[in-house]
C-alpha cells in the first residue's frame, strides 16, 4: 500500500529510476510530489528551462528581464538590443536587431515569454530575435491553455514530473485531508485542500486556478507564521540572565554621550531595557536607517549588561566592521565605562584595558589562548568580533547579551550555538541590528518570531544629503563640482550597475567606468575599483585604504561594503541609477553623509525616459528609508526588493508574499490558533512536522 509518507520509489519503476533527481528538488515522499506545485501554467508544449538551453535549439522560454540595453554595432551600424533573461534554472542572453523601441517595452523586472531559436555557439549562447510576449504583473502564470509547468532539474522532464504526480494522485490522493478547520476556511473564503491540489495539477479554468493557488498560499503563510509564533513561545521558555534596570546608571550613560538621544532612540533603548529585565531571553530586531544611531542604543544596552556583571558579544559581518566597532567603542560609545574589551578577528586580536595612571583605555595585542582564558574567566567584559566568533571555541563565563550587526535574524541553529557559548545554561539576550528598512507589514510576516524596534528618525542637525537627478547635459558640470570637493580632500564613491549581460559580477562595467574616468575626467586623481570578483580580503583592503584617505574615487558595483564608515567620503555618483530600486539607491546613498560636512549624491540616469527619471525624484524628495521601501513595494512588488543579500527568509513563494490581504488574514488566523494550540491537534501535528522539515534560518 502506497501512502502519503511512502518514498516516491514505491510508485513504480519510473519513479524508482528518477528518485535521485526528484530528491534534488526536495521530493522524497508521495506527499512531496502532491504538494509540488507548478510555478506557472503554459500553453506551449516545449517550454525549456533556460538552464537547459543548448545551441541551435528551437523553443519557448519564460523568465524575468534582468538587463536590457541598446548599443550601436560598430561594424554594421545597426542598433543591437541586448537582454539578459533568467528563470530559476539560469539565464541567457537575447539579441534583437534594429528594434530599439524594445527597451521601452521590456523593462528590467518584467516577465516575458520568448519563442525562438538559439544560435550555434556554445560559448556565447544567445537567443536571436525571438518573438516575445510581455506578461502583466500578477499574471506571470496566466495560461492560454493550461498546462502546469513545474520547476525541474537536469534529467527530469516536465512530462515525467506530470506523470509521476498523476500516479501519486491515483495511488494516495485520497489520503489528502483538510487540516484547517471549517470555520477558518469559511471565514477566509478558502477552497478545500484536496480540491485545490487537484486543480493545481490538472487545471481547467483560470479562475479556479487562482482560487486554488490562494488557498495554497494561505497554507504556506499560515504555517510559517504559526511556526514563528511557536518558536517565539519556545524561545521565551529559555532562561536568561536578568539585567536589573539601574535608572541612575542609565541616566549617567546617556549624559556622557556627546549628543542627545532622539526620541526614537530613547524608545528603542527603553524596549531593550525592559526586555533584559526579564528572565526570558530578548530576541529583538533593531531597524533603522544608516546613521540613525542604532549602535549608540546598543552601546548603552551593552553597558548596562556589563554594569550588571555580565558579558557582551558584539558580532559584525566583516572584520573591517568589527574593527570599526572596536575603535568607535573606545572613542565614543564607552560612556565612561572602564571595562576590559577585546577584539577578535582572524587578523587581529587585541585587548583594551583601563590604565589608572593615564586614565585612558590602553590597547595592546594579546595571544588567542590568553584571550580565550580571559573571556572564560569573565575578565574580558565585552568581545567584538565577526559572526564567526560563535563558531569558534570561545566559552563565556556569563554572556548576558549578544548584539548582531547587519543581520536580519539569527536562526535557530545559530541561537543554539550561542547558548552553548555560556558556561551555564543561560541563553544570552539577543539583539539584531539592520539598516535594511522593511516596512512594518512585511516585517511582521518575515520576522514574526522577533520583536521589532524601529528608529525612524534621524539625529537632529544632521545635514541632509543633497540629492540630484542629473540630466545628460549637466554631466560636465557635475564632474567639475565634485572635482572641487575632491581638491579639498574629500572622497567619492561611484556606483555602477551591471551593463554587460555576460558579466554578472559587474567587472566590465566598473572597468569601463574606471577607464573613462582615468583617461578623460580625473587623470590626476587616485582611482580604485571594486567588484564582485575580488575576494573578501581584497575588498577589505580597498575599504581600509579608502578609510585612510589613500583613494580619491572608488568605483564600485553594488558590492560596496555595508556599514563601513568613511566619514570623509562626501560625494556619490550613481551611474545608470534608473536600473536600481529606490531602497537600494537609498542604501548606497547612506555611504555618504557620515560627518558634519555637506554630502552630495548624484543620480545619473542613462536614459532620457521621463517616467524613469521621475521615479528617481522620490529620492530627492525623501530621506526616509521606510518611506522609500514602501514606495518600492508599491511600484515593484516584493519580488527582489532586498536583493540577494537577504538571508534567512522564510520559504514563502512570490505568490504568497504579494497578497497583502492574505498575509494579514493568515497572521490573524495564526495568532488565534496559537492562543490555544491544544484545541487544534491536527494543526499542531502539521506545525511540528513543518518545523522539523524546514530550516529557513
**Residue nearer to Mg ion on the CB measure, 4 or 286:** 286
Report the SS3 class of residue 250. Answer: helix
Which of 461, 451, 454, 462 is closest to 263 using CA atoms? 454
Q: How far apart are CA 80 and CA 70, in angstroms?
A: 6
Query: Which residue, judged by CB position, is nearest to Mg ion in the bound state?
Result: 563
Using DSSP bridges, classify how beta strands 382-386 and 311-316 pair: parallel, antiparallel or unpaired.
Answer: parallel
**Residue nearer to ligand ADP on the CB measure, 287 or 503:** 287
Residue 593 touches ligand ADP, criterion: CB under 6 A: no
Among 292, 304, 509, 669, binds ligand ADP (CB under 6 A): 292
Which of the residues 249 through 288 are near ligand ADP (CB under 6 A)? 259-262, 265, 288
Which of 81, 74, 128 is closest to 100 using CA atoms? 81
Q: How far apart are CA 356 and CA 383, in angstroms?
A: 21
Q: How far apart are CA 480 and CA 334, in angstroms?
A: 42
- Those residues whose C-beta lies under 8 Å from the C-beta of residue 319, and which sit 6 or more positions away, are 345, 346, 347, 348, 386, 540
**Residue nearer to ligand ADP on the CB measure, 59 or 317:** 317
Residue 96 is placed in which grid cell?
A: 534583437
Query: Which of ligand ADP, Mg ion, none is residue 549 near (CB under 5 to 8 Å by kind)?
Result: none
**Residue nearer to ligand ADP on the CB measure, 130 or 288:** 288
Residue 436 touches ligand ADP, criterion: CB under 6 A: no
CA 396 to chain centre: 31
CA 425 to chain centre: 32
Which of the residues 634 through 673 are near ligand ADP (CB under 6 A)? none
Binding-residue total with ligand ADP (CB under 6 A): 15
Residue 463 touches ligand ADP, criterion: CB under 6 A: no
Interacting residues with Mg ion (CB under 5 A): 563
**Residue nearer to ligand ADP on the CB measure, 38 or 293:** 293
**Residue nearer to ligand ADP on the CB measure, 89 or 583:** 583
Query: Which of ligand ADP, Mg ion, none is residue 547 near (CB under 5 to 8 Å by kind)?
Result: none
Residue 303 touches ligand ADP, criterion: CB under 6 A: no
- Spell out, one character per residue from 305 to 344, where the chain touches ligand ADP: x when CB under 6 A holds, - when not: ---------------------------x------------
Q: How far apart are CA 672 and CA 380, in angstroms?
A: 45
Q: How far is the CB of 206 from Mg ion (least distance, A)?
A: 48
Residue 296 touches ligand ADP, criterion: CB under 6 A: yes
Residue 577 touches ligand ADP, criterion: CB under 6 A: no
What does the H/E/C string look like for 15-31?
Answer: HHHHHHHHHHCCCCEHH
**Residue nearer to ligand ADP on the CB measure, 227 or 583:** 583
Q: How far is the CB of 466 from ligand ADP (least distance, A)?
A: 19
**Residue nearer to ligand ADP on the CB measure, 295 or 467:** 295
For residue 305, the surrounding DSSP H or E stretch is helix 294-307
Query: Which of ligand ADP, Mg ion, none is residue 585 near (CB under 5 to 8 Å by kind)?
Result: none
**Residue nearer to Mg ion on the CB measure, 228 or 434:** 434
**Residue nearer to ligand ADP on the CB measure, 49 or 322:** 322
- Those residues whose C-beta lies under 8 Å from the C-beta of residue 692, and which sit 6 or more positions away, are none
Residue 90 touches ligand ADP, criterion: CB under 6 A: no
Q: How far is the CB of 333 from ligand ADP (least distance, A)?
A: 8
Alpha-carbon distance values, 599 to 370, 489, 621 (Å): 44, 13, 16
Q: How far apart are CA 445 and CA 218, in angstroms?
A: 12
Q: Which residue has the cell 519510473?
A: 14
Q: How far is the CB of 630 from ligand ADP (least distance, A)?
A: 20
Residue 291 touches ligand ADP, criterion: CB under 6 A: yes
Residue 453 touches ligand ADP, criterion: CB under 6 A: no
Residue 81 touches ligand ADP, criterion: CB under 6 A: no
Q: How far apart are CA 81 and CA 652, in angstroms?
A: 34
**Residue nearer to Mg ion on the CB measure, 501 or 563:** 563
Which value, in Å, is the radius of gyration of the alpha carbons in the chain?
Answer: 28
Q: How far apart are CA 305 and CA 431, in angstroms?
A: 13
Which of 476, 499, 490, 464 is closest to 601 using CA atoms? 464
For residue 53, the surrounding DSSP H or E stretch is none
Helical spans, DSSP H, in 490-581: 507-516, 536-547
Q: How far apart are CA 584 and CA 436, in angstroms?
A: 9
- Spell out, one character per residue from 6 to 45, where the chain touches ligand ADP: x when CB under 6 A holds, - when not: ----------------------------------------
Residue 151 touches ligand ADP, criterion: CB under 6 A: no
Q: How far is the CB of 77 from ligand ADP (least distance, A)?
A: 51
Residue 586 touches ligand ADP, criterion: CB under 6 A: no
Residue 431 touches ligand ADP, criterion: CB under 6 A: no
Using DSSP bridges, classify how beta strands 283-288 and 311-316 pair: parallel, antiparallel or unpaired.
Answer: unpaired
Residues at the contact surface with ligand ADP, assessed by CB under 6 A: 259-262, 265, 288, 290-296, 332, 459
Amino acid at each position: 500500500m502506497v501512502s502519503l509518507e511512502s518514498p516516491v520509489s514505491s510508485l513504480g519503476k519510473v519513479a524508482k529510476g528518477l528518485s535521485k533527481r526528484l530528491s534534488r528538488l526536495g521530493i522524497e515522499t508521495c506527499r512531496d510530489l502532491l504538494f509540488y506545485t507548478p510555478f506557472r501554467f503554459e500553453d506551449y508544449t516545449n517550454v525549456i528551462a533556460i538552464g537547459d538551453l543548448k545551441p541551435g535549439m528551437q523553443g519557448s522560454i519564460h523568465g524575468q528581464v534582468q538587463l536590457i540595453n541598446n548599443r550601436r554595432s560598430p561594424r554594421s551600424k545597426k542598433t543591437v538590443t541586448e537582454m539578459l533573461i533568467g528563470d530559476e534554472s539560469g539565464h541567457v542572453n537575447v539579441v534583437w536587431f534594429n528594434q530599439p523601441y524594445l527597451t521601452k517595452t521590456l523593462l528590467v523586472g518584467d516577465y516575458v515569454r520568448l519563442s525562438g531559436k538559439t544560435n550555434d555557439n556554445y560559448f556565447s549562447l544567445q537567443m536571436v530575435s525571438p518573438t516575445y510576449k510581455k506578461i502583466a504583473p500578477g499574471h506571470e502564470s496566466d495560461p492560454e491553455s493550461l498546462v502546469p509547468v513545474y520547476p525541474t532539474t537536469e534529467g527530469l522532464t516536465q512530462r515525467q514530473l506530470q506523470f509521476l504526480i498523476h500516479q501519486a494522485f491515483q495511488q494516495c490522493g485520497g489520503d489528502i485531508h483538510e487540516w484547517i478547520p471549517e470555520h477558518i476556511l469559511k471565514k477566509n473564503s478558502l477552497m478545500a485542500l484536496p480540491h485545490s491540489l487537484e486543480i493545481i495539477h490538472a487545471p481547467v479554468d483560470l479562475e479556479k486556478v487562482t482560487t486554488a493557488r490562494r488557498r495554497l498560499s494561505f497554507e504556506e503563510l499560515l504555517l510559517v507564521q504559526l511556526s514563528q509564533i511557536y518558536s517565539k513561545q519556545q524561545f521565551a521558555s529559555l532562561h536568561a540572565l536578568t539585567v536589573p534596570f539601574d535608572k541612575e546608571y542609565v541616566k549617567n550613560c546617556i549624559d556622557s554621550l556627546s549628543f542627545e538621544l532622539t526620541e526614537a532612540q530613547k524608545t528603542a533603548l527603553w524596549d531593550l531595557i525592559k526586555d533584559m529585565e526579564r528572565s526570558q531571553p530578548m530576541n529583538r530586531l533593531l531597524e533603522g536607517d544608516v546613521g540613525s544611531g542604532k549602535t549608540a542604543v546598543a552601546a548603552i544596552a551593552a553597558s548596562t549588561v556589563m554594569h550588571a556583571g555580565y558579558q557582551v558579544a558584539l558580532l559584525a559581518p566583516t572584520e573591517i566592521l568589527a574593527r570599526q566597532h572596536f575603535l568607535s567603542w573606545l572613542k565614543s560609545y564607552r560612556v565612561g565605562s572602564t571595562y576590559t574589551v577585546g577584539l577578535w578577528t582572524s587578523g587581529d586580536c587585541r585587548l583594551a584595558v583601563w590604565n589608572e595612571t593615564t586614565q585612558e583605555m590602553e590597547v595592546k595585542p594579546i595571544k588567542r589562548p590568553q584571550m580565550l582564558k580571559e573571556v572564560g574567566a569573565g575578565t574580558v567584559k565585552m568581545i567584538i568580533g565577526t559572526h564567526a566568533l560563535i563558531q569558534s571555541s570561545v566559552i563565556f563565563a556569563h554572556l548576558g547579551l549578544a548584539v548582531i550587526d547587519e543581520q536580519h535574524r539569527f536562526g535557530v541553529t545559530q541561537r543554539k550555538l550561542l547558548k552553548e557559548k555560556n558556561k551555564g545554561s543561560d541563553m544570552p539576550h539577543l539583539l539584531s541590528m539592520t539598516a535594511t528598512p522593511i516596512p512594518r507589514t512585511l516585517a511582521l510576516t518575515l520576522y514574526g518570531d522577533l520583536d521589532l524596534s524601529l528608529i525612524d528618525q534621524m539625529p537632529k542637525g544632521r545635514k541632509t544629503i543633497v540629492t540630484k537627478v542629473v540630466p545628460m547635459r549637466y554631466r560636465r558640470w557635475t564632474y567639475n563640482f565634485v572635482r572641487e570637493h575632491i581638491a579639498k580632500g574629500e572622497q567619492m564613491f561611484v556606483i555602477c550597475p551591471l551593463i554587460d549581460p555576460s558579466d554578472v559580477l559587474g567587472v566590465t562595467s566598473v572597468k569601463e567606468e574606471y577607464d573613462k574616468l582615468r583617461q578623460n575626467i580625473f587623470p590626476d586623481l587616485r582611482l580604485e575599483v571594486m567588484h564582485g570578483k575580488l575576494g573578501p580580503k581584497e575588498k577589505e583592503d580597498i575599504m581600509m585604504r579608502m578609510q585612510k584617505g589613500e583613494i580619491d574615487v572608488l568605483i564600485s558595483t553594488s558590492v560596496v561594503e555595508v556599514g563601513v564608515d568613511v566619514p570623509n567620503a562626501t560625494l556619490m555618483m550613481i551611474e545608470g541609477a534608473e536600473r536600481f530600486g529606490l531602497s537600494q539607491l537609498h542604501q548606497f546613498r547612506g555611504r555618504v553623509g557620515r560627518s558634519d560636512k555637506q554630502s552630495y549624491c548624484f543620480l545619473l540616469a542613462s536614459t532620457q525616459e521621463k517616467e524613469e527619471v521621475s521615479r528617481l525624484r522620490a529620492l530627492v524628495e525623501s530621506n526616509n528609508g521606510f518611506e522609500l521601501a514602501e514606495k518600492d513595494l508599491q511600484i515593484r512588488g516584493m519580488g527582489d526588493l532586498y536583493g540577494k543579500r537577504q538571508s534567512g527568509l522564510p520559504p514563502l513563494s512570490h505568490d504568497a508574499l504579494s497578497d497583502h490581504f492574505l498575509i494579514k488574514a493568515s497572521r490573524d488566523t495564526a495568532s488565534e490558533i496559537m492562543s490555544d494550540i491544544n484545541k487544534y491537534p491536527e494543526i499542531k501535528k502539521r506545525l511540528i512536522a513543518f518545523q522539523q522539515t524546514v530550516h529557513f534560518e
